[in-house]
Amino acid sequence: MKLPIHIDDIRAASERIRSRIHETPVLDSRSINAAVGSDCVFKCENFQRTGSFKFRGACNAVFSLSGKDAGKGVVTHSSGNHAAALALAAGERGIHADIVMPEKTLSNKIRAVESYGGRIIFCRDTLEAREKTTTDVVSATGAIFIHPSDDPLVMAGQGTAALELAARCPDLDAVLAPVGGGGLLSGTATVVKALYPRTAVYGCEPEKADDAFRSLRSGTIVKPQSPDTIADGLRTALGVNTFHVIQKTVDDILLVPETAIVDAMQLLFERMKIVVEPSGAVSLAAVLTHRDRLARMKLGIILSGGNADLNAYWHLLRSRMG
Amino acid sequence: MKLPIHIDDIRAASERIRSRIHETPVLDSRSINAAVGSDCVFKCENFQRTGSFKFRGACNAVFSLSGKDAGKGVVTHSSGNHAAALALAAGERGIHADIVMPEKTLSNKIRAVESYGGRIIFCRDTLEAREKTTTDVVSATGAIFIHPSDDPLVMAGQGTAALELAARCPDLDAVLAPVGGGGLLSGTATVVKALYPRTAVYGCEPEKADDAFRSLRSGTIVKPQSPDTIADGLRTALGVNTFHVIQKTVDDILLVPETAIVDAMQLLFERMKIVVEPSGAVSLAAVLTHRDRLARMKLGIILSGGNADLNAYWHLLRSRMG
């Protein structure tokens, strides 16, 4: 069965969004290499516009719309990085974006969406309420729904980060990316396996939200059960499209404990001087957790986002400093 | 009178140290541009090895030593970034480094020097005690003293950051760099005025340590008086060499209040996702403070270092968040 995305879709996405996104830097740190015992390069999507890789996929989806569809505007439900990304992408195309958010969303996330010109529609904090509210918007306005992860155009857009990484670093033994809904991981694996079939691709997931791990093991999509991980961007389930790609292309899912996520954030602060949110640091956390398995390999590590609230960030790191 | 350094010295330094340093990224942020009303590019020396630009100058000085001199080892007095930088540069050349530090130096600074293989010699926390202890080391061992800023080879090494910036961004209206001892500022101004004579060069200094400002105004080196700024790297005085260059090449010194330094650190954390220590953020603080004077200009901003202790960092930022 044909996979939902192909390397050519990602190349096309890269052309489409090139002038709008940052080609984010690839950094490395000898002191982190010494600390983990492998040779790491970091693709810094925390420096992407809106603070995460999500802008790539949102931009690809929004700029793929026909003129007629674009005129209807776009809508999504998200309390996180996809919300800000879609608001900005829509703003750049000059179209309307409705963002459905739970009432108790953090104020900095709300301000981000508003600053990019998105209209926020609040709903109760259940998946049912979000989906119902979104459906209501679509019915009332005809707006195009842009899923945060399971849309092939979104998946292809997210894959452009790995395309840039692969061009800079052709000799990686493995590429690691966080997995929540699976948009980033499916796009990443599609690129890597097309260009370098012998390079391993690992999804990285909190133990406390191990639904992708269990989905791959069981061969069917498993929903996360009360995923109370600090990596709030990774609490979502795989979709039909992302699961299909991941099942065919990803070598394994590496689970990480919560403490490793904070340790990774601290290493990134102290050794690399960069701010990475918990979800974004799960890929380095996997290197810390699975040190023996990855020892002496050359690793491409995608740091997916940096939208950490300063207070929450410090309290997390302090909890590990004792 | 011939200046102590020339653009050719900086070009030579760049060749000498190229394989050992990071060519640090130049980043920009549309949201910071919108916040400050000018068009900023940031040269990220917080990503330099050892966490600051100081590694450039130390490396140039250490690798300029003759084989005979190198065999004697090097020595300096510093409680900060030059200490770690010299320890690593010496380690890379395989020679001995003695670092004279005040007894009450922060433990993370001590650990950094030790991790790079430097030997620490503690002394009392006065300039006299530091200089006496250093002189004693030189007398006893014959080690070569590498001044943190007023050595022409150190100054030339520090200028290589601006050389990289100028190659990437030839069209700047002004370049801003922090000024403490003046090594970075003198190297920066030498590069900029040689390549782009019409580009302005501003030194950026805390109001609470305004000795470079007063030195330029009075035409003679003024010592800082109880400089209790949070920008601990900028509490030192200009030297004869750095003052000479700065007097001939720098357009002005821009003073900043302490609050602007913290505001700059917060902007860099929240908008650019990078960690910059107080001294390193003084250049952006100057843009915040002198907004009208710099409005609508294209600015090259050197962020000089990122060695912030996590606890101290958070307490500073929290103080401004209320």
Is the predicted pLDDT of residue A277 greater than 90, yes or no? Answer: yes
Which residue(s) pair with B52 in the sheet? B305
Mean pLDDT of chain A: 95
Does B320 touch chain A if contact means CB atoms closer than 8 Å? Answer: no
CB contact under 8 A, B47 and A30: no
- Local confidence band at A297 (pLDDT 50, 70, 90 cut-offs): very high
Summarised one tens digit per residue, pLDDT across range B74-85 is: 999 987 899 999
- Taking the C-alpha atoms of residue A273 and residue B274, their distance in angstroms, rounded to an integer, is 6
Does B273 touch chain A if contact means CB atoms closer than 8 Å? Answer: yes
Mean pLDDT for B34-45 is: 97
- Local confidence band at A273 (pLDDT 50, 70, 90 cut-offs): very high
- Taking the C-alpha atoms of residue B256 and residue B280, their distance in angstroms, rounded to an integer, is 13
CB contact under 8 A, B273 and A273: no
CB contact under 8 A, B274 and A273: yes
- Local confidence band at B320 (pLDDT 50, 70, 90 cut-offs): confident
Mean pLDDT for B298-322 is: 89
Minimal Cα–Cα distance from A305 to chain B, Å? 9
Residue of A nearest to B305 (CA): A273
pLDDT top residue among B236 and B226: B236
CB contact under 8 A, A306 and B273: yes
pLDDT recorded at residue A127: 80
Residue B17, CA distances (Å) to A58, A217, A272, B49, B163 in order: 42, 50, 21, 12, 13
Minimal Cα–Cα distance from B269 to chain A, Å? 7
Is the predicted pLDDT of residue B310 greater than 90, yes or no? Answer: no
Apex CA B71: angle with CA B68 and CA B76, to 5°? 115
Does B68 touch chain A if contact means CB atoms closer than 8 Å? Answer: no
B27, B273, B310: residue with CB nearest A270:
B310
A25 interaction partners in chain B (CB closer than 8 Å) = 25, 27
- Local confidence band at B27 (pLDDT 50, 70, 90 cut-offs): very high
The DSSP bridge pattern shows strands A174-178 and A97-102 to be unpaired
Mean pLDDT for A135-159 is: 97
pLDDT recorded at residue B105: 81
| Active site (catalytic) residues of B | 54, 79
CB neighbourhood size of B136 (10 A):
14
A306, A311, A317: residue with CB nearest B310:
A317
Query: Within 13 Å of residue B281, how many CA atoms lie on the same side as its CB?
Result: 31
B25 interaction partners in chain A (CB closer than 8 Å) = 25, 27
Of the candidates A79, A279, A283, A304, the residue annotated as catalytic is A79
SS3 A106: coil
State CA B124 to chain mean position distance.
24
Summarised one tens digit per residue, pLDDT across range B234-289 is: 999 999 999 999 999 999 999 999 999 999 999 999 999 999 999 999 999 999 99
CB contact under 8 A, A25 and B27: yes
Does A49 touch chain B if contact means CB atoms closer than 8 Å? Answer: yes
Report the run of H or E that residue B269 belongs to, with start and end: helix B258-270
The burial class, CB within 10 Å (0-12 / 13-18 / 19+), for B240 is: exposed
Residues 247-266 of A with CB under 8 A from B: 266
- Taking the C-alpha atoms of residue A52 and residue A70, their distance in angstroms, rounded to an integer, is 23
Is the predicted pLDDT of residue B127 greater than 90, yes or no? Answer: no
Summarised one tens digit per residue, pLDDT across range A231-244 is: 999 999 999 999 99
- Local confidence band at B37 (pLDDT 50, 70, 90 cut-offs): very high
Give me the total of CB pairs closer than 8 Å, taking one residue from chain A and one from chain B.
48
* Contact between residue A76 and residue A99 where contact means Cβ atoms under 8 Å apart: yes
Summarised one tens digit per residue, pLDDT across range A286-295 is: 999 999 999 9
Does B311 touch chain A if contact means CB atoms closer than 8 Å? Answer: yes
Q: What is the DSSP letter of A143?
A: P
The burial class, CB within 10 Å (0-12 / 13-18 / 19+), for B293 is: middle
Domains delineated in chain B: 7-52+151-321 (3.40.50.1100), 55-145 (3.40.50.1100)
CB contact under 8 A, B269 and A275: yes
Closest CA relative to residue B26, chosen from B8, B14, B46, B43:
B43
Of A114-128, B204-218, B254-268, the range with the lowest mean pLDDT is: A114-128
What are the DSSP calls for A108-127, one per residue?
A: HHHHHHHHTTPEEEEE-SSH
* Token duo for residue A94: 């000059």
* Contact between residue B53 and residue B25 where contact means Cβ atoms under 8 Å apart: no
CB contact under 8 A, A273 and B310: no
Residue A2, CA distances (Å) to A60, A155, A182, A200, A311 in order: 21, 15, 18, 21, 46
Closest CA relative to residue A46, chosen from A313, A315, A316:
A313
Of A302-306, B165-169, B306-310, the range with the lowest mean pLDDT is: B306-310
- Taking the C-alpha atoms of residue B134 and residue A302, their distance in angstroms, rounded to an integer, is 46
Mean pLDDT for A142-159 is: 97
Is the predicted pLDDT of residue A179 greater than 70, yes or no? Answer: yes
A47 interaction partners in chain B (CB closer than 8 Å) = 27, 272-273
Mean pLDDT of chain B: 95
Residue A163, CA distances (Å) to A19, A175, A188, A250, A252 in order: 15, 12, 8, 16, 20
Q: Which amino acid is at B276?
A: V
Does B314 touch chain A if contact means CB atoms closer than 8 Å? Answer: yes
pLDDT recorded at residue A321: 66
Strand B298-303's sheet: what is its strand order? B26-27, B39-44, B298-303, B174-178, B200-206, B252-256
Q: Which amino acid is at A240?
A: V
ipTM of the prediction:
0.93
Summarised one tens digit per residue, pLDDT across range A84-95 is: 999 999 999 999
- Given CA atoms A179, A180, A186, A188 in this order, what sign does their dihedral have? negative
- Local confidence band at B71 (pLDDT 50, 70, 90 cut-offs): very high
CB contact under 8 A, B273 and A318: no
CA dihedral B305, B309, B314, B316 (to 10 degrees): -70
CB contact under 8 A, B321 and A310: yes
Is the predicted pLDDT of residue A35 greater than 90, yes or no? Answer: yes
Residue of A nearest to B309 (CA): A270
Is the predicted pLDDT of residue A322 greater than 60, yes or no? Answer: no
Is the predicted pLDDT of residue A32 greater than 70, yes or no? Answer: yes
Mean pLDDT for A184-207 is: 98
State what percent of residues in chain B have pLDDT above 90.
Answer: 88
Does B269 touch chain A if contact means CB atoms closer than 8 Å? Answer: yes
Minimal Cα–Cα distance from B162 to chain A, Å? 19
Residue of A nearest to B108 (CA): A270
Query: Within 13 Å of residue B158, how many CA atoms lie on the same side as its CB?
Result: 35
Minimal Cα–Cα distance from A123 to chain B, Å? 27
A24 interaction partners in chain B (CB closer than 8 Å) = none
CB contact under 8 A, A274 and B274: yes
Residue of B nearest to A269 (CA): B275
Is the predicted pLDDT of residue A69 greater than 90, yes or no? Answer: yes
- Write the secondary structure of B32-68 as one string of H (helix), E (strand) and C (coil): HHHHHCCEEEEEEHHHCHHHECHHHHHHHHHHHCCHH
- Taking the C-alpha atoms of residue B224 and residue B112, their distance in angstroms, rounded to an integer, is 27
Report the run of H or E that residue B177 belongs to, with start and end: strand B174-178
Does A276 touch chain B if contact means CB atoms closer than 8 Å? Answer: yes
pLDDT recorded at residue B143: 97
- Taking the C-alpha atoms of residue A13 and residue A285, their distance in angstroms, rounded to an integer, is 29
- Taking the C-alpha atoms of residue A292 and residue A104, their distance in angstroms, rounded to an integer, is 41
B318 interaction partners in chain A (CB closer than 8 Å) = 311, 314
Is the predicted pLDDT of residue A1 greater than 80, yes or no? Answer: no
Residue with the two structure tokens 């990085």: A81
Of the candidates A14, A29, A38, A54, the residue annotated as catalytic is A54
- Local confidence band at A149 (pLDDT 50, 70, 90 cut-offs): very high
Mean pLDDT for B87-93 is: 97
Predicted TM-score (pTM) above 0.80: yes
* Contact between residue B162 and residue B218 where contact means Cβ atoms under 8 Å apart: no
B306, B311, B317: residue with CB nearest A273:
B306
User: Mutate which of A273, A274, A279, A321 to disrupt the B interface (most B C-beta within 10 Å)?
Assistant: A273
Mean pLDDT for B118-136 is: 92
pLDDT recorded at residue A320: 74
- Taking the C-alpha atoms of residue A16 and residue A163, their distance in angstroms, rounded to an integer, is 14
Mean pLDDT for B51-69 is: 98
pLDDT recorded at residue B132: 94
Give Cβ neighbours of residue A198 (< 8 Å, ≥ 6 apart).
Answer: none
Is the predicted pLDDT of residue A170 greater than 80, yes or no? Answer: yes
CB contact under 8 A, B318 and A311: yes
Is A79 annotated in the active site?
A: yes
